Amino acid sequence: MYYEEHPFAQYIRILGKGKNGSRPLTEDEAYEAMKMILRKEVTGEQLGAFLMLERIKEETPPELAGFVRATRETLDVPADMPPIDLDWSSYAGKKRQLPWYLLTTLLLAENGIRIFMHGASGHTNGRIYTKNVLAEVGLKPCTNMQEVRASLEQNNFAYMDIEHLSPRLHEIIELRPWLGLRSPVHTLARMINPFSAPYVMQGIFHPGYRPVHQETAILLGEKNVAVVKGDGGEIERNPDMACLVQNVRNGEMIDEEWPAMFDKRHVRDDVMDTTRLRKVWNGSDDDEYAIAAVIGTAAIALRLLGRAHDMESAESLAREMWEQRSREKYGTAA
């Protein structure tokens, strides 16, 4: 019996034809393949094969650019949404230290920088995700664009989980326990920048992905991006270690290594008491690691945003923001 080949089969064949016959997808092929995936025009078997073939060879910048282009076309983003200054992805979760980066984004927001954060939650056991700690600082995750607008107008900050931003990408991320591995969607989600913010922060876990993010950003026409291997894979500078930030600045790839902020290393936080986020934010906990992580991460963002001309002045500005906040709101010095 003759069966007509499924239209998606060509993309699996390109990736899986063997050591000598396979090749990466072109950007246009990746775009068409992802459109079919997002429209659910593929079977479960095809999706699994495609994701794992990509995982084995590792996705290329043209493939990711095509995936991002296709994904952006599916996002329901109102044209009259308030403009976003900084797109911030949060997909890894934390397990060794609390998510101090959240306080960084709120500090920047208090200083007039409008931030949209998107992320995923619950896909890996034993990690704390942004969505689960927003209540500690008086915020809640947004589930629709009306809530995003209200949060941006009130707080200069909004968080939306990928579950609501792109339900189909969420479904694919949730396959991880069945596949046993991350897939290209974990990389893709960090890059979608749904509101076309002019500045983008992306966190990674595997160092080898930094140049992939840079090159993909250039293909997508994004001029100012900072790619950070932060603590746990989130965008958070570990103040105990040097931090390599690989940027796209005005369309050019530029690397900067930020030095450690302490001479000694701090111990892992085995308790992970999320109420400490609120205590550090309100000045009742002056933990030096936490405050340094907030200031150090804010410095990277300020450098990206062009608010400082070098690393030293960016860190000085970030510290000034934190100390001024402490004095004005709580009558204390950080």
Query: Could you list the residue range(s) of the whole structural domain that residue 13 is in?
Result: 9-74
The answer to whether residue 3 sits within a structural domain is no
The answer to whether residue 4 sits within a structural domain is no
Predicted confidence band at 333 (pLDDT cuts at 50, 70, 90)? Answer: low
Specify whether 138 is located in the same domain as 66.
no
Phi, psi torsion values for 315, nearest 5 degrees:
-65, -40
**Distance (Å, rounded) from C-alpha 191 to C-alpha 91?**
11
Specify whether 59 is located in the same domain as 130.
no
Specify whether 68 is located in the same domain as 101.
no
Specify whether 92 is located in the same domain as 68.
no
The answer to whether residue 2 sits within a structural domain is no
Predicted confidence band at 169 (pLDDT cuts at 50, 70, 90)? Answer: very high
In this predicted model, what pLDDT tens digit does every residue of 200-255 receive, in sequence order?
A: 999 988 777 788 999 999 999 999 999 998 998 999 999 999 999 999 998 899 99
Q: What is the CATH number of the domain that holds 15?
A: 1.20.970.10
Specify whether 63 is located in the same domain as 94.
no
Predicted confidence band at 327 (pLDDT cuts at 50, 70, 90)? Answer: confident
Q: How many domains does the chain have?
A: 2
pLDDT higher than 80, residue 44:
yes
User: Last residue of some domain: 47, 74, 101?
Assistant: 74
For residue 177, the model assigns a pLDDT of: 86
Per-residue pLDDT averaged across 262-266, rounded?
Answer: 94
The answer to whether residue 318 sits within a structural domain is yes
Predicted confidence band at 187 (pLDDT cuts at 50, 70, 90)? Answer: very high
pLDDT higher than 60, residue 332:
no
User: Last residue of some domain: 46, 74, 102?
Assistant: 74
The answer to whether residue 1 sits within a structural domain is no
Specify whether 121 is located in the same domain as 99.
yes
Specify whether 59 is located in the same domain as 206.
no
Per-residue pLDDT averaged across 156-179, rounded?
Answer: 95
State the chain's mean pLDDT as an integer.
94
The answer to whether residue 81 sits within a structural domain is no
Specify whether 243 is located in the same domain as 285.
yes
For residue 207, the model assigns a pLDDT of: 75
pLDDT higher than 70, residue 334:
no
For residue 18, the model assigns a pLDDT of: 87
User: Last residue of some domain: 74, 104, 131?
Assistant: 74
Q: What is the CATH number of the domain that holds 261?
A: 3.40.1030.10
